[in-house]
Amino acid sequence: MKRIVVTGGLGYIGSHTVVELQLAGFEVIIIDNLSNSSKDVLKGIVNITQKEPTFVELDLRDKQATISFFTKYDNIDGIIHFAASKAVGESVVNPLLYYENNVTTLITILQQIQKKENIPFIFSSSCTVYGQAEQMPIPENAPIQQAYSPYGNTKQIGEEILLDTTKAVNGLQVISLRYFNPIGAHPTAEIGELPIGVPQNLVPFITQTAIGLRKELAVFGNDYPTKDGTCIRDYIHVVDLAKAHVIALKRLLSKTNTESFEVFNIGTGKGSSVLEVIESFERVSKQKLNYSITSRREGDVVAAYANTTKANTILGWRAISSLDEAMLSAWNWEQKIRKTN
């Protein structure tokens, strides 16, 4: 059985990926510092998979503790690296936190990988590396524009570090998955998105507003050059996204990739505006959402949605869930956690 380390494995995307890895027969070791997650997520993973992954509470910014981890767990077959700060708005306010969390920790992990033999590595990247792209849908070979936020810049820097490292370290194989906007929850409602504090992303703010936890949803700007004036994003169900990691990992383990550093867009290929997401939520939940239009938010691009042809053809992966299905799963999750808390 292949042993896979998942950093940030109790987080939103990480936990869904752990589920899919275990269902696919992998042994999983989770690293998480619990800064934006909870050990309770382990219960949800076990309830879905009937198997408990190994959990190690570790802050990757602690270099010595990270070295000790890789010394103890020396038989590793692959690493999926999620651990990072991820909110665009917060990164604008606190850029140094993002450079510390997202860049220095990646370097520390790669330093440990160099000491071992050819550990396949999957990097949690982002469509923010494209900045405001000049064409839609965005292909992987689109020019990398200046990042609109420190968060986006850390993902650009991360990919540059990985590319340089694969050139220098013989046999290192890396796949960088550029996510668009993950939403939704596992269909069992055992795990889902549960941000600590005020949500930085649209969908959990929608569901928390609908459940009464937030007074009102702020829509940041309705004067963008889009069909209804609000920003357009590519919203992908988190389970579809998680499955892409398993497929990418199998590609690395089978050594069918011919390049040491590969990049794939992971999205639906369809753009939805903020107002369309709200309409989808109201349709599936039968709830009227309280929202208002406010000024634009610094760091937001006008539109971003994926060209997924490369992932569809090379990985054999594609998103299958609709926006409505994703929004309904998010609402089911929100209702469940508020009943149990």
Rounded to the nearest 5°, which phi and psi values hold at 82?
-100, -30
270 SS3 class = coil
Set 130, 151, 179, 305: catalytic member: 151
| Nearest by Cα to 84 from 106, 52, 66 | 106
Dist CA 95 CA 149 (whole Å) = 9
Q: Is 99 exposed, middle or buried (0-12, 13-18, 19+ CB in 10 A)?
A: middle
Residue 279 buriedness (CB in 10 A; 0-12 / 13-18 / 19+): middle
CA distance 333 to 91: 27
Structure tokens at 246: 């398993």
| Active-site residue flag, 235 | no
Output the six-digit token pair for 2: 């292949």
d(C-alpha 223, C-alpha 302), whole Å: 10
Q: Which positions are annotated as active-site residues?
A: 151
